[in-house]
Chains A and B, each alone.
Chain A
Amino acid sequence: MSAPSPLRSMQLAGCATHPIRFVDGDAPVDFTLANDADVESIAADLAGYRSIALVFPKWADGRAYSQARLLRARYRFAGEIRATGEVLVDMMPLLARTGFDAVALRADQSKEFAERALSFFADGHYQGDLIEPLPRFRRGGEASA
């Protein structure tokens, strides 16, 4: 598998830059996992995929966030996880934090706004995620315990 772990690349980058790649809606992908399919059903095949597309049939349907998180944290999938379907710029922070590293934005969406959507909360969030696995209370600094 040639792609570096997105987890590692993000940690090395110190979260200063996000590693999300913009791709065209019709760009080829090794496998598309249906929005209502179980990640567990493809666990045995993951080693054969360099990229997996997850689907947002409607942007407010959040199932693919759980799928991405499971692919990364439980099955250690290190290839590309791409957001497809109705992908809006304001989803970017959630996508980045649940393990996506590629997005095919809906045709009318602006990359500039997508970048800007990632500029908020530079100090991170309370709970751990796929960018910073530790919750605030286990990180260094005044809140560590």
Chain B
Amino acid sequence: MYRYDEYDRHFVHQRAAQFRDQLERHLAGQLPDDDFRALRLQNGWYVQRHAPMARIAVPYGELSSRQLRALARIARDFDGRDGGPYEGRGGGFGHFTTRQNCQFNWIALADAADVMDILADVDMHGIQTSGNCIRNITSDCFAGVAADEIVDPRPYCEILRQWSTLHPEFAFLPRKFKIAVSGSVEDRAATAWHDIGLVLRKNDAGEIGFEVRVGGGMGRTPIIGTVVRDFLPWQEILVFIEAIVRVYNRYGRRDNLYKSRIKILVKAEGQKFIDSVEAEFANILSKDLDGSAHLLTDGERDRIAACFELPEGVAPIVVGNDPKTRLANAAATARKQASGAAASIPAAYTRWLERNVHSHKLAGYRAVTLSLKRAGQPPGDASADQMDRAADLADRFSASELRVSHDQNLVLPWVRASDLPALWQAAREAGFATPNIGYLTDMIACPGGDLCALANARSIPIAAAITECFDDLDELHDIGDIDLHISGCINSCGHHHSGHIGILGVDKDGQEWYQVSLGGADGSTLSGPSTTGKVIGPSFAAEEVPDVIEAVIDTYRAERENGDERFIATLRRVGIEPFKVAAHAVRRATAVHA
């Protein structure tokens, strides 16, 4: 992973010092709320329903065990800490988000500067995790290890991170601005749903470039990003993004919060927007003083890329000459070791291998997902102890490296196939081995109305009720791959628009209701091209939601062909109607509306 040098380290410490200065002025009454808000937001500090929320950046999802232990320490020592204002409020947890960040919900604002110092000591920060600026760059959680990778996106993500960090012209845009980068055949970063979605490609000459999409986004007006360049040479990426963001800063709407994202500008202007970007791009290079200074050089790309070479101790493991034999041998060894551990192991272990273990570009290695989706805990949550245990697993099995996934799980990217049985045992003991990756209970959910000031309804109890309802692994296995996404409000942090099943919390007359949509897609191979789900009718009451999901799933099982057709494929084939009818049939409280 990227290694901070002295400059980087000094930089985040300077940022922590600057924030401490601002916070102290605020606490001393010299910086009023209105003036402090944007400053704290650009350091990741919200003021939420009950308490501040801190959002810590995990750039493109890469995390060292040392950094994860620092997050555990913050959860333990600061989140709802003893003697603090939020003692006894259920602190001690971190929450991993779809944007690969880590959030804390019960830290006192007075402790904020100390927290940022601790983070700076492990090369972490909350820079631009909120506010109307360029946010944390997100990517594929399997970047650099995916078997289907065309170009490793991490060096480009890091270059973009550095360029966007404290960019002086783009700190106060009309609205937030999110960039995602993918470099694989499979898009695991939902790039089309971002303000800028970048997909790395190689052309026929073997040169590297980006497909550039602009203007994707969820919220009130879900829109899929428009491709503005099929193949932008990688050297030009910073200048091209500068052109996009400048056009947006100048012409994006600022009169209406709900129309201020770049997607609205792109939609309203169409080709004119693209022409403006191209003209701006040309002007920077041809007219501006030092306009070409931000064209990337081979030297810089190579300097950054050197950080992303294989971690120490990681090298391809060659067993025999034929790749097929190698894989078979590794699998056989794994099975032998597993069956030696306990007689009952193989079935559960096999299921874990199927769901939580992923192919790897390096012979003899696997990537392993540590599931943060289990009964009794909100999706994406981890306690201080759990974070420490995950860090231990990373030290023991994955070159001390982890990833945060878009689906709100943790990933160990560098696991030797021969270590899988031992890892499975250890992950099971630590509660990370639920073999449900990609299943219904591996859902995406925002923190919702329990914690978030924006939410119209709670997400966590809905997620818990569904998890409880579908606790049978055989049943989950039978249902198969499905994306369930839950948002507590139209801001769509839980990505309900892109779920095969989407649940959206809405507020009517001060009560919580839930809108259900079907057929959304995040752009993965399974889901098909990115698209927004269709709402199946009036909202449901909270207690009806699990029954609705059950009815939808039962319909799928009755309608599917050959026993192995996926949910999304069945839905597309038979259409939304039978699902709608089944869902409406379980209405009780809302029967009168139907």
| A interface residue numbers (CB < 8 A to B) | 7, 38, 59-63, 65-66, 69, 72-74, 76, 88, 90, 93-94, 97-98, 110, 113, 116, 120-123, 125-129, 133-138, 142-145
Beta-carbon nearest neighbor of A38 in chain B: B250
Cα of A6 to Cα of B286 in the assembled complex, Å: 22
Which single residue of chain B is at the shortest CB-CB distance from A67?
B250
- How distant is the Cα of A97 from the Cα of B168 in the complex, in angstroms? 6
Task: Provide 15 A-B residue pairs closer than 8 Å at the C-beta atoms, listed in order of the A residue.
Answer: A61-B172, A72-B289, A76-B289, A120-B15, A120-B18, A121-B14, A125-B165, A125-B168, A126-B11, A126-B163, A136-B7, A142-B5, A143-B5, A143-B303, A145-B302
Q: Which residues of A lie under 8 Å from residue B287 when comparing CB positions?
A: 74
Chain A, residue nearest B38 (CB): A60
Contacts of B169 in A (CB 8 A): 62, 65-66, 69, 94, 98, 129
B168 and A133 contact, CB distance less than 8 A: no
A125: chain B residues within 8 A (beta carbon): 165-166, 168
B162 pairs with A65, CB closer than 8 A = no
Could you say which residues of chain B place their CB within 8 Å of the CB of A126?
A: 11, 162-163, 165-166
Main secondary structure of the interface of B (DSSP, over half): helix
Contact with A along B582-593 (1 / 0, CB 8 A): 000000000000
Interchain CB contact (< 8 A) of A121 among B11, B25, B171, B297: B11
User: B30 contacts which chain A residues (CB < 8 A)?
Assistant: 110, 113
- Among A60, A69, A88, A121, the one with the most B-chain Cβ atoms within 10 Å of its Cβ is A60
Q: Report the 7 A-B pairs with minimum CB-CB distance, sorted nearest first.
A: A145-B299, A62-B172, A97-B168, A133-B290, A137-B300, A126-B162, A120-B18
User: B300 near A60 (CB under 8 angstroms)?
Assistant: no
CB-CB under 8 A from A113, the residues of chain B are 25, 30
Q: Output the least CB separation between A110 and chain B (Å).
A: 8
Across the interface, do A60 and B132 meet the contact criterion of CB distance under 8 Å?
yes
On whether the beta carbons of B168 and A94 are closer than 8 Å, the reply is: yes
- Chain B 277-298 against A: per-residue CB contact (8 Å), 1 yes, 0 no? 0000001000111110110111
B17 lies within 8 A of chain A by Cβ: yes
Q: Looking at the complex, which one of B168, B288, B302 makes contact with A73 (CB distance below 8 Å)?
A: B288
The answer to whether B168 and A128 touch across the interface, beta carbons within 8 angstroms, is no
Majority-rule SS of A interface residues: loop
Q: How many whole Å from A76's CB to the nearest CB in chain B?
A: 7
Q: Is the Cβ of B7 less than 8 Å from the Cβ of A143?
A: yes
Cα–Cα distance between A145 and B304 once the two chains are bound (Å)? 11
Residue of A nearest to B247 (CB): A66
- Are B14 and A73 in touch, CB under 8 angstroms? no
Residue from the list B170, B290, B299 in contact with A134, Cβ < 8 A: B290
Complex contacts, B329 vs chain A, CB 8 Å: none
Which of A76, A129, A133, A135 neighbours the largest number of chain B CB atoms within 10 Å of its CB? A135
Shortest Cβ distance from A131 into B: residue: B168
Known contacts: A137-B300, A145-B302. The answer to whether A90 contacts B35 by CB under 8 A is yes
A116 lies within 8 A of B21 (CB): yes
**Docked-complex contact A137 and B168, CB < 8 angstroms:** no
Counting chain B CB atoms within 10 Å of each CB, which of A72, A113, A137 scores highest? A137
Judged by a CB distance under 8 angstroms, whether B173 is at the interface is: yes
State A137–B291 Cα separation when bound (angstroms).
15
User: Which B-chain residue is minimally distant from A76 (CB atoms)?
Assistant: B289
B22 beta carbon closer than 8 Å to chain A:
yes
Give the docked Cα–Cα distance between A141 and B30 (Å): 39
- Residues in B neighbouring A62, C-beta threshold 8 A: 132, 169-173, 249
Contact of B293 among A38, A63, A116, A138 (CB under 8 A): A138
CA distance A66 to B249 in the complex (A): 7
| Most central of A38, A94, A110, A122 by chain B CB within 10 Å | A94
Assess whether B326 is interfacial by the CB under 8 Å rule: no
A138, closest chain B residue (CB): B293
Minimum Cβ distance to chain A for residue B217 (Å) = 19
* B17 / chain A contacts, CB cutoff of 8 Å: 120
Task: Name the contact of A65 in the complex, choosing from B15, B22, B25, B172 (C-beta under 8 A).
Answer: B172
- B272 on the interface (CB 8 Å rule)? no
B573 is an interface residue with CB less than 8 A from chain A: no
**When chains A and B are docked, how far (Å) is the Cα of A94 from the Cα of B291?**
19
**CB of B246 within 8 A of chain A?**
yes
- Give B90 Cβ to nearest chain A Cβ, in Å: 33
Complex Cα distance A121/B531, Å? Answer: 43
B428 within 8 A of A: no
Interface residues of B in 1-59 (CB under 8 A from A): 5, 7, 10-11, 14-15, 17-18, 21-22, 25, 30-31, 35, 38-39
Give complex CA distance A38, B249 in Å.
Answer: 12
The answer, among B11, B172, B290, B291, for a CB contact under 8 Å with A60, is B172
**14 additional A-B residue pairs with CB within 8 Å, beyond A62-B132, A94-B171, A127-B162:** A59-B172, A66-B249, A74-B289, A90-B22, A113-B25, A121-B166, A123-B7, A123-B11, A126-B166, A127-B238, A134-B290, A137-B300, A137-B303, A138-B293
